[in-house]
């Protein structure tokens, strides 16, 4: 499994976590951030089914979700499931960094979540 290539930013003043990066802290307007990576498993916060996928996807639809890692980073990723059947908010997901689609034959990597 390759490492999750996400960098999150923690405000040095108030500790608020940002991903993706913002120029100024959304909470206190601070400008200094400490970089860190998501760790551990993730808890599903919200999810949806996405149809009409951009070019390069083989699937008919995707299930995507926002999940929160154990160290607080929230990120959007593709959930590895065939249907919404077994998916529910609050469930634990195992994150991985994998090809999510192919553009001109080259894999584009992204975040995926596997329900545990
Ligand atoms: Zn702040």
Give the pLDDT means over successive 10-residue stretches in the chain (116 positions).
Answer: 85 96 96 96 96 80 95 95 93 95 90 96
Note residues around ion ligand 1 (Cβ under 5 angstroms).
11, 13-14, 16, 25, 27-28, 30
**Global pTM value:** 0.86
Q: Which long-range contacts link 11-20 to residues 24+ away (Cβ below 8 Å)?
A: 17/72, 17/73, 17/74, 19/73, 19/74, 19/75
102 CA to centre of ligand 1 in angstroms: 37
pLDDT score, position 89: 96
The class (CATH top level) of 38-115 is: mainly beta
pLDDT score, position 2: 59
Q: How far apart are CA 55 and CA 80, in angstroms?
A: 19
Which one, of 22, 4, 26, 10, lies nearest residue 75 by Cα? 4
CA contacts within 13 A on the Cβ side of 110: 16
């Amino acid at each position: 499994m390759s490492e999750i290539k996400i960098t999150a930013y923690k405000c040095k003043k108030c500790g608020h976590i940002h991903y993706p990066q913002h120029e100024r802290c959304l909470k206190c307007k601070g400008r200094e951030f400490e970089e860190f990576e998501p760790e551990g498993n993730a808890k599903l916060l919200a999810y949806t089914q996405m149809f009409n996928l951009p070019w390069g996807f083989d699937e008919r639809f995707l299930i995507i979700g926002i999940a929160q890692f154990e160290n607080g980073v929230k990120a959007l990723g593709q959930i590895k499931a065939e249907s919404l059947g077994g998916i529910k908010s609050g469930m634990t997901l195992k994150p991985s960094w994998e090809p999510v689609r192919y553009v001109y034959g080259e894999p584009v990597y992204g975040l995926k979540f596997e329900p545990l």
